[in-house]
A and B are shown apart, each in its own frame.
Chain A
Amino acid sequence: AQSVTQLDSQVPVFEEAPVELRCNYSSSVSVYLFWYVQYPNQGLQLLLKYLSGSTLVKGINGFEAEFNKSQTSFHLRKPSVHISDTAEYFCAVTDRSNTGKLIFGQGTTLQVKP
């Protein structure tokens, strides 16, 4: 079984500052990793995913994440945030089976202040 822990429930940051949202996972098998964003009153949208290959993954809206197998982490970063990045961010993991079953973390609220 897999599990995901997002270490920060809320991250306040000023506009144009860098941000890191932390995610750690636990699994006894190889996994795929995802970050989803949920804007207020909307569904989830995929930001980026790690399947294999390069451990640095670039996504939409200037976000990137780095897969670290030894630390079982998949932290999300952005060098300069905008007000429009204010949203809920979810890290998720799935095993490499054929079910598509996503296990989500608890979410991190990113609050970008002017």
Chain B
Amino acid sequence: DTAVSQTPKYLVTQMGNDKSIKCEQNLGHDTMYWYKQDSKKFLKIMFSYNNKELIINETVPNRFSPKSPDKAHLNLHINSLELGDSAVYFCASSQGAGGSLDTQYFGPGTRLTVL
């Protein structure tokens, strides 16, 4: 059973389109995260949610909007896609209130390519 799953695994789209990436965790965790990994493999946190409440909101363009319908799901919607949005997006989850002690479990990633 996959603990943290993401769909789709690959996403190829045109500039200007709107797309969503879905994330689900079956670990019973309270906190979920989105990370972006660029072409140089640099990883940076974008958002975190704890029990559907936004906790971390880094300096990410407003075109990115996370949505958490319940604590097991955290989706990422991206409007007006740009070339620079091409990256691998990782979802992660951790138990508890997202404290720094908690281990984060990562999904397999979604490779987004904007043409």
Minimum C-beta distance from B66 to chain A (A)? 15
Query: Which A positions have Cβ atoms within 8 angstroms of B?
Result: 32, 36, 41-46, 49, 51, 88, 90, 94-102, 104, 106-107
Knowing A42-B108, A44-B106, A99-B48, say if A104 contacts B43 (CB, 8 Å).
yes
Query: Which B positions have Cβ atoms within 8 angstroms of A?
Result: 4, 31, 33, 40-45, 48, 55-56, 90, 92, 94, 97-109
B residues near A94, Cβ cutoff 8 Å: 100
Task: Flag if A44 contacts B41 (CB, 8 Å).
Answer: no
Minimum C-beta distance from B21 to chain A (A)? 13
CA separation between A38 and B8, bound complex, in Å? 19
Knowing A99-B56, A104-B42, A107-B42, say if A45 contacts B106 (CB, 8 Å).
yes
Task: Flag if B41 contacts A100 (CB, 8 Å).
Answer: no
B residues near A46, Cβ cutoff 8 Å: 103-105
Q: Interface centre among A45, A49, A97, A104, by most B CB within 10 Å?
A: A104
Knowing A49-B103, A106-B40, say if A44 contacts B90 (CB, 8 Å).
yes
